[in-house]
Structure 1
Amino acid sequence: MTYVMQMSTDQDIINTQLNAAWNPITARYSWLQVSGMNLGIPAGATIVVIAHGDANEIGNAQPGTVDIDASTFLALIQGNMAQGAVPAAIYISTCGPGIPQFAAAVRMAAQQNRIWANNTRIFGHSDPISCPVPAPNSQAWFEIF
């Protein structure tokens, strides 16, 4: 089960496609749906997040509209999971530098808050947004332990 979350309202993020290896995609959610935190995603899901971002936050390219730090990211993901469910893997794809640091901050927040099982895998990737999100087995991803 693969779920895509657009954590930006920028048109380039909305139009970003995934490599065909991600298919089938169970659902793709807009920022409005994600921010409502009521999606009920089942346990064991793989979540692909698409946004602009850097080492400190993800969201829109220009600050001030959608600005998501690691703790808020954790709350958004968990708030969209079904009761008691945790994701199997989260892939964070951005077009800005520093996404491994952001993904590491998410991992630390999750461990500190004990929200996710230690086996939830977190990956980060950063490339120009005009490209499709790389396949899940691509070497473009950095796994954060």
Structure 2
Amino acid sequence: MVYVLEMSTDADIRQTQLDPAWGNAVTRYSWAQVSQGGLNIPNGSTIIVVAHGNDTEIGNAASGTVDINESVFLATVHGCMAGGAVSARVYLSTCGTGLATFTARVRIVATQNQVWRGVQLFGHHNAVAGLVPSTTALAWTQIF
């Protein structure tokens, strides 16, 4: 199953849609839900995060409302998982540049905390005018 986590309250991010290749088995959560945690996302799920972003944080386009660094990102996603569950893949799709750097920073924190051992991380950035690309699109960069 695919879960979309909105990590922004900006209207353009909340309206961002997925490429149809993702299929119909999609559950989407707003920032209000994501920030509270406890969503019980099951083990092995695929998570897509949509937000504005740069090389040091994701969230809203303007700073001061939703500003998520790599440690908060890891804790937030982990807090949405069911007890003991870990995602199989996390796709970060943002409007903004520097996402590969941010995703690499998430990987470093996850490795240090040993929370996401084996989780595949992918990053993509593009204007919010389009759809979140399918898993097979060349737009994704895997961060080891």
TM-score (norm 2): 0.98
Separation in 1 of the partners of 2:130 and 2:115? Answer: 32
What amino acid is the match of 1:129? V
Residue 38 of structure 2: aligned partner: 38
Identity %, equivalent residues = 52
Which segments of 5 or more consecutive residues in structure 1 lack a partner in the other structure?
none
1:10 matches 2:19: no
Give the secondary structure class of the aligned counterpart of 2:18. coil
Partner of 1:120: 119
Distance 1:136 1:57 in 2: 23
Corresponding letter in the other structure for 2:36: G
Contact 1:70 1:106 in 2 (8 A): yes
Alpha-carbon distance in 2 for matches of 1:14, 1:54: 18
What pairs with 1:1-145 in structure 2 (closer than 5 Å)?
1-117=1-117, 119-145=118-144
Deviation of the 1:12 alpha carbon: 0.1
Partners in 2 of 1:94 and 1:78 — Cα distance?
A: 19
**Which amino acid letter does the alignment assign opposite residue 66 of structure 2?**
V
Measure how far apart 1:137 and its partner are.
1.1
Q: How much has 1:92 moved relative to structure 2? A: 0.2
Q: TM-score, normalised by structure 1?
A: 0.98
Kindly provide the amino acid, as one letter, of the partner of residue 81 in structure 1.
Answer: M
How many Å separate the matches in 1 of 2:78 and 2:25? 20
Cα deviation, residue 24, structure 1: 2.1
Paired with 1:37 and 1:113, the residues of 2 have a C-alpha distance of: 19
Q: How many residues are matched?
A: 144
Q: Deviation above 3 Å: which 4+ runs of structure 1?
A: none
Post-superposition shift, 1:110? 0.3
The residue identity in structure 1 corresponding to 2:67 is D
Amino acid corresponding to residue 66 of structure 1 in structure 2 = V
Question: What amino acid sits opposite 2:130 in the alignment?
Answer: C
1:81-134 CA distances to partner (integer Å, 9 max, x unpaired)?
0110100000000010000000000011000011112x2000000000110000
| Structure 1 position 23, deviation (Å) | 1.2
> What displacement does 1:25 show?
3.2
Is contact 1:4–1:25 with CA below 8 Å preserved after alignment?
A: no
